[in-house]
Structure 1
Amino acid sequence: MLTQAQKDEYDRVGAIVVPDVLSPAEVAELRAVTDGFVERARAITAHDAIYDLEDSHTPAQPRVRRIKAPHLHHAAYAALVRHPKIVAVLQDLWGPDIRFDTAKLNLKSAGFGAAVEWHQDWAFYPHTNDDLAAVGVMMDDMELENGPLLIIPGSHKDPVVHDHHGEDGRFCGAMDPGKKEVDYRAAVPLTGKAGSITVHHVRAVHGSAPNTSNRDRRLLLFQFRAADAWPLLGFPEGMEAYDRLMVAGKPTLTPRLTPVPVKLPLPPAAKQGSIYENQKGLKNRFFAAAAE
């Protein structure tokens, strides 16, 4: 599935864009299903097990930031967990044994889609090795104007886990730009056409600006890991449930240990829930300042 040049780019940058993974028909189905979820959000007024809402959400103007665990709520999303082209990309990077983790759909709607501050996914869920990545399925064209993912090239090889704690000492899932740990001017956008996918390394520093354009930017994100990468914080659902997350190859009882930097996400965020709620614990916000 991947060329050697694409594998080399992933190793060098920490992220790639793979075009034309989903067909136009698959994209159209995802859009229609998602429109239905947004329409049904008119009936709710607060975050719940399915919806994470924009602060400006009202029944008259439903504004959804995120659909949580969408693969549990509709077959069209669930089908992508084992999509053969997505699995083939991951096997090209890690080998035959691949385990799914979870998913989310970030809507970032036209004109008001919220920013996500700079962070590393690794800060949320460290493992015994770092063969983990998020696969982003582009439901819309992702362009610079509508808030694409931004990646700091090579940051997945930084020797430390950057600090993701707020002034209160609690984990907030975001990096304080005032600490100048990273050169944010080096950021590159992951852009592409609907049906393409992004793959970004779990340790890559990334974020995204608000969507101030008149075009939606819906990105369906799936978290995957090599089967021998075991979560340091455990798996509360038990061993059988953990092994049911295998999407290719075989599970193992032998975790692969590599010398990766680790910092636990403790004490937990004051505002629990999605990353949007966690990041409210960060006072010095990069994208808020950039928009002023």
Structure 2
Amino acid sequence: MHLTPEQIDTYREQGFLAVRNVFTPDEVAELQRVTDEFVERSREVTAHTDVFDLEPGHTAAEPRLRRLKAPHRRHPAYDRALRNEAVLAVVRQLVGDSVRFQNTKLNLKSPEFGSPVEWHQDWAFYPHTNDDVLAVGIAVDDMMLENGCLMVVPGSHQGPVHDHHQDGVFAGAVPADGLTEQAVPIELRAGDVSVHHARLLHGSAPNRSQRPRRFLLFEYAAADAWPLVDFPGWEAFNERLLCGEPTVTPRVEPVPVRIPLPKHAREGSIYEVQSALGRSAFASEM
């Protein structure tokens, strides 16, 4: 999968990109089937676990799975998607030939519900020594404005790292302050992928449709971008290497950084962290 010079320029200038038809219909069908199986399994739990993050109102009769944590560990289909050569070809063209993954998650929005994700920069959660860090989102379903597709603020990756704290603790979100009016949607068909820079402001509204919206997210970094918080240890760090060779020489660049500390009592997924906010930026849409 080769990006055109125009696509690369768009990513550099705007901070995001949509790439069409990266996954085949058969690959999409497998991801949909496996995801359905995990939603079924979530009927068995009544509280968050190390695998499942649940929507408010989740029940065995009406399962509302909000997030599948570390999906690459849960099923080979997700791990294959993480290592998909077409995806890695896109990533290498944007951050270089040596690539490490940062983390993985599958976010789900139930029909006519689905928790919003408040405005934030991924960079606020995991600053590195340089900002060749990005997220690839795989559309497991068609993702349109009405079912809560990703919204981004073009060019915001070139600006400041905003304060994601509230009342003295890290809350994982920034005040809306007109961001929704500046934002544009990244609408995708199933099998398309989005790419966004770690410093890009983004969020997503609740699902207002009767269709599910399931979004498989993989965060990748250049191998010489070292995390400034939560370093997992040398062996675990290099187990995440997907392309190239490990290095003991971090590339340090003058990028703006805020450390996501102190943490508040409801530490967990982004939904739990953002629960420290008094009011959702998308409250009128819920």
TM range (shorter): over 0.9
Taking the aligned partners of 1:119 and 1:265, their CA distance within structure 2 comes to 12
- Aligned partner of 1:172 in structure 2 is 171
Compute the displacement of 1:284 (Å).
3.4
- Aligned partner of 2:89 in structure 1 is 88
- Aligned partner of 1:230 in structure 2 is 226
- Aligned partner of 2:262 in structure 1 is 267
In the TM superposition, 1:242-281 aligns within 5 A as 242-281=237-276
Taking the aligned partners of 2:274 and 2:47, their CA distance within structure 1 comes to 18
Taking the aligned partners of 1:231 and 1:193, their CA distance within structure 2 comes to 33
In the TM superposition, 1:173-188 aligns within 5 A as 173-177=172-176, 180=177, 183-188=179-184
Compute the displacement of 1:185 (Å).
1.2
Taking the aligned partners of 1:72 and 1:94, their CA distance within structure 2 comes to 24
RMSD over aligned Cα atoms = 1.1
Taking the aligned partners of 1:25 and 1:17, their CA distance within structure 2 comes to 20
- Aligned partner of 2:163 in structure 1 is 163
- Aligned partner of 1:28 in structure 2 is 29
- Tell me whether 1:213 sits opposite 2:209 in the alignment: yes
Q: Gaps (5+ residues) in structure 1?
A: none
Taking the aligned partners of 2:9 and 2:91, their CA distance within structure 1 comes to 14
Taking the aligned partners of 2:140 and 2:152, their CA distance within structure 1 comes to 19
Taking the aligned partners of 1:234 and 1:221, their CA distance within structure 2 comes to 20
Pair 5,207 (structure 1): closer, same or farther in 2 beyond 3 Å: same
After TM superposition, the runs of 4+ consecutive aligned structure 1 residues lying more than 3 A away are none
- Aligned partner of 2:39 in structure 1 is 38
- Aligned partner of 2:285 in structure 1 is 291
Q: Aligned to 2:37, what secondary structure does the other structure show?
A: helix
Taking the aligned partners of 1:24 and 1:183, their CA distance within structure 2 comes to 35
Q: Aligned to 1:247, what secondary structure does the other structure show?
A: strand
Q: For each residue in 1:231-285, what CA deviation from the matched residue of structure 2 results, as whole angstroms up to 9, or x when unmatched?
A: 011423x212211111111121111111111110011133111000100101132
In the TM superposition, 1:40-189 aligns within 5 A as 40-158=41-159, 160-166=160-166, 168-177=167-176, 180=177, 183-189=179-185
Instruction: Note if contact 1:99-1:225 (Cα within 8 Å) is conserved in structure 2.
Output: yes
Residue type of the partner of 1:200? Answer: H
Taking the aligned partners of 2:93 and 2:11, their CA distance within structure 1 comes to 11
Q: For each residue in 1:200-254, what CA deviation from the matched residue of structure 2 results, as whole angstroms up to 9, or x when unmatched?
A: 1000000000001011110000010000100011423x21221111111112111
Instruction: Note if contact 1:164-1:175 (Cα within 8 Å) is conserved in structure 2.
Output: yes
Taking the aligned partners of 1:281 and 1:176, their CA distance within structure 2 comes to 12
Q: Aligned to 2:213, what secondary structure does the other structure show?
A: coil
Pair 44,171 (structure 1): closer, same or farther in 2 beyond 3 Å: same
Q: Aligned to 1:107, what secondary structure does the other structure show?
A: strand
Instruction: Note if contact 1:136-1:219 (Cα within 8 Å) is conserved in structure 2.
Output: yes
